[in-house]
Amino acid sequence: MSMLTTSRGDRIVYDDRGPVGAPAVIFVTGAGPTRAEDPTTHATAERLAVSGFRSLFADRLGRGESVSAGTITLDAQIDAIVELAAATQSLVVLVGHSSGCAIAMLAAPRIPDLVGLALWEAPLGLFPEGAPAWWQAIRESIDAGALEEAVARYMAGMPPEWLEQLKASPDYPDLVLSWVPDGEALALVEQRGYRESLVSVSAPVLALTGTETFPGMRETADEIAGAAAHGSAEQLLGSEHSWDPNAMAERLARLLSEARRSGPAQD
30 within domain boundaries: yes
135 within domain boundaries: no
216 within domain boundaries: yes
Number of domains in the chain: 1
Query: 265 by DSSP, 3-state: which?
Result: coil
pLDDT exceeds 70 at position 10? yes
Handedness of CA 85, 87, 92, 93 (dihedral sign): negative
Which residue range(s) make up the domain with 74? 2-123+192-262
pLDDT of res. 267: 46
DSSP label at 67? B
Q: What is the CATH number of the domain that holds 70?
A: 3.40.50.1820
Task: Give the side-chain half-sphere CA count within 13 A for 146.
Answer: 11
| pLDDT average, residue stretch 143-148 | 94
pLDDT per position as a tens digit, 23-69: 999 999 999 789 998 999 999 999 999 999 999 999 999 999 999 99
pLDDT per position as a tens digit, 176-202: 999 999 999 999 999 999 999 999 999
Residue 55 pairs in a beta bridge with 17, 25
Q: Report the predicted TM-score, pTM, of the whole model to 2 decimal places.
A: 0.94
| Mean pLDDT of all residues belonging to the chain | 94
| pLDDT average, residue stretch 85-101 | 96
- 156 pLDDT band, cuts 50/70/90, is confident
pLDDT per position as a tens digit, 200-239: 999 999 999 999 999 999 999 999 999 999 999 999 999 9
152 within domain boundaries: no
163 within domain boundaries: no
16 within domain boundaries: yes
For the beta carbon of residue 112, count every other beta carbon within 10 angstroms. Answer: 12
H or E segment and range at residue 40? helix 39-50
H or E segment and range at residue 190? helix 180-192
pLDDT exceeds 50 at position 103? yes
155 within domain boundaries: no
pLDDT of res. 264: 58
132 within domain boundaries: no
Cβ–Cβ under 8 Å, residues 243 and 213: no
